[in-house]
Structure 1
Amino acid sequence: MTNAWDAVRAAIDAEDTAAVAALLIGFDDAQRREVARELPRYLPVVRRAGERRDAERVAGRQGWWRSLHAEAERADRSVWDLPGFSEGRVRWYVGARWIEVMRVAGAGAIAGAAGVAAWLNRRELVRGWVPAELDDVPAILDVVAARPVAWREDLAARLALRLRAARPQERDGQVLLALALLRATGVEPPRHDPLTLAWIAAAPVADLGVDPLLDAMVPRLFEAEGVGRLLRRDYELGPALAALAADGRIKRAALLDGCRTRFLRGGQAADLLFFVELHTRLDPAPEEVAPHARDYAAMLALPAANVADLALRQLRQAGVTPPAEAAESLLFRSEGRLVRAGLSLLDRVLKEPSEEIDAYAPALAAALTSGSAEARQRAVRLAVGHAGRFGPEATAMIRDIVATLPPGPGAALAAAFGGEAAPEPPRPRFQPQPLPAVPEPEPMPPITHANVLARVSLRESDWMQPERWLDGFVRLASDERRESLIAELAPVAARCRDQEYRRSTWHDTSTWAAAMARELIEPGADRRAVRGGRADAARRVPKTKHLAMGRLMPLARFAEVYQSLLEGRMPPYLLATPTRANGLLDAEALVERLEGYERDGVQALPLDLRQALLRLGRGSVTAGAVRRAALLAAPAGRRAHRWLTDRPADPEVVLRWTTDQDDSFVEAEVVLGPEHAELFGDLPVPGPGGESCELLPPVPRPAIESCELLLPVLAGHRGLAAAFSIRGFMPYRAVSEPAARDLDRLVLADGPGGPCLALLLARHLLEGPDGDGVRPLLLLAASGGLPGAELGRQLAALLERGQGRAADAIAALTEAARLGAHREVWQVLTGLLPAYLPGTGERATGAHVRLVRFATEVAGWTGARGELPVVAGLAARARTSELVRQARDLHALLTGPA
């Protein structure tokens, strides 16, 4: 072993890339061969050493992170706000720094280009993403600079061909090196699709004009597989190429030819979007389009609708009439706008005096068999209007279609061309199924034994266990079972150490439970541990900006019971403990508990009473409960009697839509009356940006909350719970919208639904009949709680903002009607039709036609009567269209005899 390897090894151990490069540049061939011979054997050694150093860095970073959290806890601040956070992120960067020195060593020492390429592509020496500070490309270029030109060209080609088709990254080390060698050598880049994708991802758009690879790579943009998929959301390369073409750096004609070639190869519309945008940006003049009219006409039959749109637009601007075959291909398409364009083209051609009219008979036949009723009607009018100009063969072709058409259009066509129209089919009788039974909420089981209470696990994601624990603790601590409770809770109390009392806030019900257990076993433990000897449970409840109501209310209730325990006035049982597993409290149970309080002279805990009234089930109020409540004399009893007999109006909820950067948001504004304002009192709700705002009228921007925790707090006010759960609601953004299970819980809760429940249900109805909206609609219909017209208005709001398809909503409503909710579906339509149908001057679409046709069916199923102004207005329009015809049918049905 000579000094050459010792020197290189020392530089490798020091992770000094520059030193390794300098050594190898100065070595002769023999010294480089010696280094090349030792490198593979040393690779496992240096890898283990590097991993060991990385482990040390990771440990250091974890220690820094722990210390930062401790500092944040002491300062009662967020970790992200501490000054040491940003500095530490840079300081404790973790990365395998030995890779680059080994890559540079191999590139400078290995003799053959094939060997260097294999070394640089070893799995353990390939980094997926290379930070700028670890870039080894300049060093590798330096160590190979003295090699022969042919050798470097060979290495560049080999590295380029080793690139794989995985989605390239901007800072991929293999890509950066291959492109740098290709630019440095000037060799023709090999034709390799992954190389083209890599060039797109890694080449700086601002430097394209001076990139030596530009002329070679631009034509390959239109040839390589995967380019369109990579550039689906391109906002830079297309404008840059158009600018370079305008400056003469690349040929404009070449870009247009490339786009046309790529279009004719076909593909998905999304994968062709970049080329469509580039072609549109180039904006060819009519004289540039005319020589290629045949190509543009062929594009009309391509599956990608955006390409067909572009081709049709170019032909119109150039004043070129597509041949009959192109018109026919338009009329076979499924896109309504292209079918309408084909019909307009056919109308224009047929109006021109020409002997070639028979050539367009196949196109007319395609329109007559279109899946769109509007297209068929228009084609029938065209065929009848020009019936006398068709020759025998064309006439026979159209006559053969008569029997395949619906009875109305078929009869009109038969009168002009002969043939026999299909007879009117008998209308099937609508037979709905019975609505499903609404499941009764099960009773919530109490905890009656101390050993069971001690084993309960309190998880913040489960509202029922903390509720049962709190109820069981109060009951067991207030009767003869107190001694057994003390014995069983000793392990729970041991978790509450003295330092726990000095913490500013208790965020978990398990912490409160441990403190309650210790206070029960060691009375006065809290006062002895706190400076000044005064325990104040309320100050330990988290600040409102940190928690939403679904988590805050249980903590506040634990605090209230804990304070009563500290002061020796804990009641024998609680008023607000639910009787049902969905959080509802039966009226009979509440009255019975209040009767017991009055007999024993117990004063109700204020928050406990307020929570009880929020949970009070409306359907559980009986005449017997009202009579018994009327005999109560204490303030809590009188207040409960008032809620049983003259419940105040529910809070008003108003939805407001806003738009920000093409995203639609909806916010709920809650307006409380004086009774509910008193009931909620100081209960806060998180406001915008995490700031707290009191729940006093009006309440802007309630906080997003899962109904799993929120509904047990507001079990008797599902409309209010729905309002709190949709703050910042963005349809089709799973991260910020209530889930289907939240909708299920709201459906089985109590109280009026209101606009927020309607919005959530509308969102899921837009998933179609197989989505999560049909069953909740059926259950609401069965319980009589469906906000039908409001649901229709919210469906319209989502559809107008492009958050779904009318066809999916219609399919879901059809399924709901078939399963028994046909009367409720009609109520939905009475809200949807006025809010969604086009007004004066607004453009009608096929979705509007399908909706009115569906409304006519449902009106027939339900026997609906009574004029709808929006339908009457459409029916009275002078200009006849398919929408107007459908509106006239619906209007005649609604205003005709029963």
Structure 2
Amino acid sequence: MRLPAEVEASGEIVGGVPYCRGMINAWEAVRAAVDAGDAAAIAALTSGFDDGRRREVARELPRYLPVARQAGERRDIERNEDHQARWQTLVAHAEHTGRSVWELPEATAMWGHGQVGSRWIEAMRVAGAGVIAGAAAVAGWLNKRDLERVRAPADIDDIPLILQVVAARPVAWQEDLAVRLALSLRGARPQPGDRRAQLALALLRETGAEPPGHDPLTLAWVAAASAAAAGELAADPLLDAMAPRIFEAEGAGRLLRQDRWLARALSTLAADGRIKRAALLDGCRTRFLRGGQAADLRFFVALHDLLDPAAEELAPHARDYAAMLSLSAANVADLALRQLRRAGVTPPAEAVESLLFRTEGRLVRAGLSLLDRVLKEPAEDVDAYAPALTAALMCESAEARERAVKLAVKHAGRFGPEATGTIRDTVAMLPPGPGAALAGVFGGAAAVEPARPRFHPGPLPSVPEPELMPPLITNAKALARLGLSEYGWLGSERWLDGFVRLAAGEQRDELIAELAPLAARGGDQLYQWVPWWQTSEWAQAMARELAEPGAERRAMPDGRADPARRVPETAHGAVWRLMPLARFAEVYEAQLDGRIPPCLLATPTRANGLLDPEALIERLEGYERDGVNALPLDLRQALLRMRRTVTGEVVSRAARLTGPAGRQVHKWLTDRPADPEVVLRWTTHEGDPRIPAEFAFGPEYAEVLGDLLVPRWHDEPCEQLLAVFAGHRELAAARAVYALKSSWPLSKPKACDLDRLASADGPGGPGLALLLAHYLLEGTDGVRPLLRLAASGDLPGAELGRQLAVLLERGESRPADAIAALGEAARLGAHREVWQVMTGLLPAYLPGPGQGATSVHTRLMRCAAEVAEWADARGRLAVVAELAGRRRTSELVRQARRVHALLARGSPEARPRLARGSPEARPRLARGSPEARPRLARGSPEARPS
């Protein structure tokens, strides 16, 4: 900072800074430093002020706050305007050179560092801390909303300067300020850069004041301790006061859910004698007995495990650990059970009963083991454990019930009359099998097995026809009013189609007049830019060429018009954006060469981008009558959009076409080449999940697709992708799932996109299956499209099962929703298709030999058993056979045996499956297979009724 000349000339030094009493007062010196944003100079000034000078500055400081704020905001606006101007220059330079702006090193440099605003805030904070008299007033000043930064840059830190200026105050005053700042903290989730919390903790450390018992302060210390090095934590003067409060502060467990370091650091400090080990163990036990969610207790469980108490340390607290067995947090109950075993203590009857009332299978099994051990002891009063046994008999787990029945029968003679009556009362409430076994020993009437209701599937929904394309544009005035948008693919299609029809027809002169404003908009400057990223730029050039033939050639120095070089390179954009630009370029080039066709082949007939074959054949017939050759890209786009449903009449008309385009379309209608194969790869980009797709296809598709499917690191919206690949829904789905699991603000496919894919055409594959699996795991959003795909014969069943397994293995949190959704779809009539899903899901997801099973596996197998019965499934699944053959009987094994028995009801040779096309069977021919071509038109008499 440079102070006024009269200050420098005076020769008087205050706090290391020139100061002149006669020529300039203390406030003027501080104000000059505030205007310069020099907090360090203010700290040097105020540290040397006497009481009079402090009062002088303190009187003026509040009045200057709005002035300083306005000046700082004005400087920020100027700085931001300069930044935006430089950015726009870079963008223009990138567009001119045909590159992405992010390829320029200057762009990375501009956004690689945070934009540092004016530094008047820190200067004002330091000034107030240095001159305001009372500690309460200083705390209020430092907590002013006007002096807060939403996001403080890393290179701005006024805490050392505030510590410097308050160091000149009395010790009691400093302690009072530290406590007041600590008590002013709020919130249960301290932010990493919270300067209020950092300042309060720093003052408490500097002054040695006793930290107040305030939960937000404890959480702020915990957040800081979790990021500190081991040596820093051991040397922290607040450690002894704050460590015990971790167990008491509300929200500490939630804050430490993801802790990877603090628990280990505390156990190390306890082993070194820096903090008391017994206090940490007592704190853990106290925190456990308070209860809470398992995730909020995860840190304390980890700390207790690291402290690893010996048996002699555990024995005096056996009652506490026994009480923990009934807590809702399973991880705490697990810990308590381990400690009781280690101490050699048998829990009391009520503790064992609480274990048997739990829903976690491992804890129920542990309770049964305890019960078995107790019932074997001759000296035990087994009647006290009768309530625990009845709890096990009523357990939801069939495995636990079966084991409890065996225990009851085995030790029946040891129970007294009252306990026997208690057990007898459960007989009628048990399933028929266990109830009968128990009734044979204890008496009572067992339940009778109810008759299974017969399954009556509902009819699959009819497959609605996609909506028709909006009416084509037939007059120039309507075309001129139609706007062009980057995301409005339908508007671009209608504009391009209308332009071609009108320019080649009788309304050419009217079209020239209506598009005159558009033609004049760009001028010759339009031709200086490369590439053209907007369809509106191409439309300007087409309108200009229509009004002034040869306009671009006259404007170019070399007298040459080359639309191809104005199309962006493939690597620089998404396919849904590049394809329309390339089609506009093709029409523009045809216009320049005087060979514009009477209409375009690829204009959709359906609002979802599909093109009816009869419309395409009609257009080709017109081409051949007029001797017009098809535009190559227009034909390629038509083939990618063409529907696969075709009537015999349309095939006959196509066979009469003689031109190259007509012959190619006829071949695709009758002998379509094999569709591209899709492989999804799970990867990451800067730690964020990505799912790029790889494609393999034969030469026929290589000619049609060209470079449309080359790898691109772009997120692509599904609706716009379908505009290009409406007849190949899998290609659109495979590109759309790229950012499906990203946490970044990228374009992700939505549930409505799944409906769009279901109404499109073409076989499904991994991309469609992954998207459908994602929404099945979200609940019922995937049921409707699954039913529609099943009704049309396009559901990739086994692949859907495999993709569900992929998501489940990657930790999707709602598997029960997917199982429920599959069951719902089966009940609504898609039972055969859902069984196909199971054939992909079960082998990929069920546990193999030596792998642990979960309740999700059991629930899935139960659903599979129902669906297999409904679908009259046959065959063999190796993973089911392996589970069915296991010696240990669990509910999973029991359901696997049920499925295995259903599948083995006659081998494929003994009972052949129904022939495809028979009245009883639902045709499931793969689209694109030789048997499925040509497919009957929806609604025709020969087709399967809705």
TM-score band, normalised by the shorter chain? over 0.9
- Rounded to whole Å, the distance in 1 between the matches of 2:342 and 2:422 is 33
Q: Deviations over 1:45-65 (max 9, x none)?
A: 222222222222222322333
Shift of 1:356: 2.3
- Rounded to whole Å, the distance in 1 between the matches of 2:675 and 2:424 is 65
| Pairing 1:565–2:591 present | yes
- Rounded to whole Å, the distance in 2 between the matches of 1:662 and 1:285 is 41
Q: 1:143 aligns with which of 165, 185, 201?
A: 165
Aligned to 1:402: 427
Shift of 1:872: 4.1
Q: Which amino acid aligns with 1:205?
A: A
Change (3 A) 1:580 1:309: same
Give ranges in structure 1 of 5+ residues lacking alignment: 691-702
| Pairing 1:848–2:873 present | no
Q: Deviations over 1:48-85 (max 9, x none)?
A: 22222222222232233333333434454444444444
Q: Which amino acid aligns with 2:845?
A: Y
* SS class of match (1:55): helix
Shift of 1:463: 1.7
Q: Which amino acid aligns with 1:477?
A: A
* SS class of match (2:678): strand
- Rounded to whole Å, the distance in 1 between the matches of 2:803 and 2:830 is 18
Q: 1:537 aligns with which of 553, 559, 563?
A: 563
- Rounded to whole Å, the distance in 1 between the matches of 2:682 and 2:80 is 47
Aligned to 1:432: 457
Deviates more, 1:181-190 or 1:339-348: 339-348
Aligned to 2:613: 587
Aligned to 2:179: 157
Q: Which amino acid aligns with 1:63?
A: A
- Rounded to whole Å, the distance in 2 between the matches of 1:227 and 1:890 is 48
Q: May I ask how many residue pairs the two structures share in their alignment? A: 881
- Rounded to whole Å, the distance in 1 between the matches of 2:200 and 2:476 is 72
| Pairing 1:56–2:78 present | yes
Q: Is the 8 A contact 1:670 1:723 kept in 2?
A: no
- Rounded to whole Å, the distance in 2 between the matches of 1:772 and 1:92 is 41
Shift of 1:722: 2.3
Aligned to 1:293: 318
- Rounded to whole Å, the distance in 2 between the matches of 1:868 and 1:545 is 45
Q: Is the 8 A contact 2:733 2:768 kept in 1?
A: yes
Deviates more, 1:709-718 or 1:832-841: 832-841
Shift of 1:659: 8.8
* SS class of match (1:809): helix
Q: 1:243 aligns with which of 259, 262, 268?
A: 268
Q: Which amino acid aligns with 1:810?
A: I
- Rounded to whole Å, the distance in 2 between the matches of 1:230 and 1:641 is 66
Correspondence list, 1:643-654, <5 A: 643-654=668-679
Correspondence list, 1:498-647, <5 A: 498-619=524-645, 621-647=646-672
Q: Deviations over 1:508-550 (max 9, x none)?
A: 1121111111111111111112221111111111111112222
| Pairing 1:373–2:395 present | no
Aligned to 1:780: 789
Shift of 1:869: 4.7
| Pairing 1:26–2:48 present | yes
Aligned to 1:302: 327
Change (3 A) 1:868 1:13: closer
Shift of 1:627: 1.6
Q: 2:731 aligns with which of 717, 720, 723?
A: 720
Correspondence list, 1:861-876, <5 A: 861-876=870-885
* SS class of match (1:653): strand
- Rounded to whole Å, the distance in 2 between the matches of 1:758 and 1:7 is 71
* SS class of match (1:353): coil
Q: 1:683 aligns with which of 700, 707, 713?
A: 707
Aligned to 1:766: 777
- Rounded to whole Å, the distance in 1 between the matches of 2:331 and 2:51 is 60
Change (3 A) 1:397 1:12: same
Deviates more, 1:66-75 or 1:240-249: 66-75
| Pairing 1:860–2:869 present | yes
Q: Which amino acid aligns with 2:546?
A: L
Q: Is the 8 A contact 1:171 1:202 kept in 2?
A: no
- Rounded to whole Å, the distance in 2 between the matches of 1:305 and 1:507 is 58
Shift of 1:245: 2.1
Shift of 1:873: 4.3
- Rounded to whole Å, the distance in 2 between the matches of 1:452 and 1:801 is 52
Aligned to 2:750: 739
Q: Which amino acid aligns with 2:774?
A: R
Q: Deviations over 1:437-481 (max 9, x none)?
A: 211112212111211111112222222111111111100111111
- Rounded to whole Å, the distance in 2 between the matches of 1:586 and 1:208 is 72
* SS class of match (1:322): coil
- Rounded to whole Å, the distance in 2 between the matches of 1:803 and 1:309 is 24
Q: Is the 8 A contact 1:458 1:510 kept in 2?
A: yes
Q: Is the 8 A contact 1:315 1:322 kept in 2?
A: yes
Shift of 1:730: 3.7
Change (3 A) 1:289 1:249: same
- Rounded to whole Å, the distance in 1 between the matches of 2:684 and 2:112 is 37
Shift of 1:660: 10
Aligned to 2:484: 458
Aligned to 2:929: none
Query: Taking every aligned residue pair, what percent have the same amino acid on both sides?
Result: 71
Q: Is the 8 A contact 1:169 1:202 kept in 2?
A: no
Aligned to 1:118: 140
Q: Is the 8 A contact 1:548 1:686 kept in 2?
A: no
Q: Is the 8 A contact 1:64 1:88 kept in 2?
A: no
- Rounded to whole Å, the distance in 2 between the matches of 1:6 and 1:804 is 63
Aligned to 2:722: 711
Q: Which amino acid aligns with 2:708?
A: P
- Rounded to whole Å, the distance in 2 between the matches of 1:100 and 1:659 is 40
Deviates more, 1:597-606 or 1:311-320: 311-320
Give ranges in structure 2 of 5+ residues lacking alignment: 1-21, 912-946
- Rounded to whole Å, the distance in 2 between the matches of 1:399 and 1:91 is 75
RMSD: 2.6
Q: Deviations over 1:590-649 (max 9, x none)?
A: 111111111111111111111111112111x22212222222221111112211221112
Aligned to 2:16: none
Q: Is the 8 A contact 1:129 1:173 kept in 2?
A: no
* SS class of match (1:134): coil
Change (3 A) 1:663 1:393: farther
Change (3 A) 1:285 1:666: farther
Shift of 1:388: 1.9
Q: 2:518 aligns with which of 487, 492, 501?
A: 492
Change (3 A) 1:247 1:585: same
- Rounded to whole Å, the distance in 2 between the matches of 1:805 and 1:121 is 44
Aligned to 1:700: none
Shift of 1:831: 3.1
Q: Is the 8 A contact 2:99 2:572 kept in 1?
A: no
Q: Which amino acid aligns with 1:451?
A: K
Change (3 A) 1:851 1:607: same
Correspondence list, 1:249-268, <5 A: 249-268=274-293
Shift of 1:747: 0.9
Q: 2:222 aligns with which of 180, 192, 200?
A: 200
Shift of 1:302: 1.3
Deviates more, 1:467-476 or 1:883-892: 883-892
- Rounded to whole Å, the distance in 2 between the matches of 1:83 and 1:801 is 37
Q: Which amino acid aligns with 1:643?
A: W
Aligned to 2:839: 830
Q: Is the 8 A contact 1:715 1:749 kept in 2?
A: yes
Shift of 1:739: 2.3
* SS class of match (1:360): helix
Q: Is the 8 A contact 1:537 1:563 kept in 2?
A: yes
Shift of 1:563: 0.3
TM-score normalised according to structure 1 size: 0.93
Aligned to 1:384: 409
Q: Is the 8 A contact 2:831 2:871 kept in 1?
A: yes
